[in-house]
Amino acid sequence: MRVKVLVVLAIVSAGMVPVRAAAPVVGTKSATAAMPQIDAPIALLIDVGSGRTLYARDIHRRFVPASITKIMTSYVAFDLLTKGKLRIDQRISMRPETFREWHNVGSTMFLPADAQPTVAELIEGIVAVSANDACVVLAEGAVGSVPAFTKLMNQAAEELGMRDSHFNTPNGWMDEGQTYVTAADLATLSSALMTRFPDLYRRFYGHAEMTWGDITQPNHNPLYGR
């Protein structure tokens, strides 16, 4: 059963914008008085600038993150770029088997079979339109295979202290619950993404839309696009 979750990080640092992920939370009277009705069973609202939790509900409850998984995918990509193990202008070819498996499956960039997108284009597709195909192409191009990439995702989770999270896919596609997170862990991850890679975060997050080829799509995050 899909769990409705709301995770919002209130960003006060200069140049940063709110990021919506997903999950429930509980807070003080002053915080809840200003909050709208929240129906989600899991929720978390944090001011990253001060580190203050404004609202929280059941933040350590595990749930299947679906596309929220892609926050970790972008974190790993940013880390590889920062370490020089990946180049922003590096082109990655779509593998035939990847095209067959992920062409037009769920949210997509609509990458053709002969696509050779750059790393920057793939990250933009992942961040802006939650592209499942872009996640797999990036994972395979970055470290050779999806299992090798998810290993990096889990290593990053461990290093960040995300003790109640595990990643089995780079795009969050259904995997019988092998991928799971908590709101608390998502807050840790999202904060690290913004504070450790501020330039890359500003470059890729917050665009209202993205264009690949002759297809323009609005950002799937309602705070930015729809």
Q: What angle do CA 169, 172, 178 make, to 5 degrees?
A: 60
Alpha helices by DSSP H, 166-224: 183-196, 198-204
The residue type of 176 is: E
Backbone φ, ψ for residue 65 (5° rounding)? -80, -15
Confidence of residue 190 (pLDDT cuts 50, 70, 90): very high
Confidence of residue 48 (pLDDT cuts 50, 70, 90): confident
Active site residue 130: yes
pLDDT digits (tens, 9 = 90+) for 149-174: 999 999 999 999 999 999 999 999 99
Alpha carbon distance 208, 24 (integer Å): 26
Quick one: what percent of the chain has pLDDT higher than 90? 71
Query: Residue 54: its pLDDT value, please?
Result: 86
In the CATH scheme, what is the homologous superfamily, with its name and number, of domain 63-218?
DD-peptidase/beta-lactamase superfamily (3.40.710.10)
Given 67, 74, 107, 190, the catalytic residue: 67
Active site residue 70: yes
pLDDT at position 116 over 60: yes
Q: What is the mean pLDDT of residues 50-63?
A: 89
Given 70, 74, 107, 165, the catalytic residue: 70
Active site residue 67: yes
Pairing verdict, β 42-47 and 19-20:
unpaired
pTM: predicted TM-score of the whole model, two decimal places:
0.84
pLDDT at position 18 over 60: no
Given 74, 130, 165, 190, the catalytic residue: 130
Query: Residue 36: its pLDDT value, please?
Result: 66
Alpha carbon distance 170, 70 (integer Å): 7
Q: What is the mean pLDDT of residues 83-101?
A: 98
Least confident of 55-59, 78-82, 116-120, 130-134: 55-59
Half-sphere exposure of 46 (CA within 13 A, CB side): 26
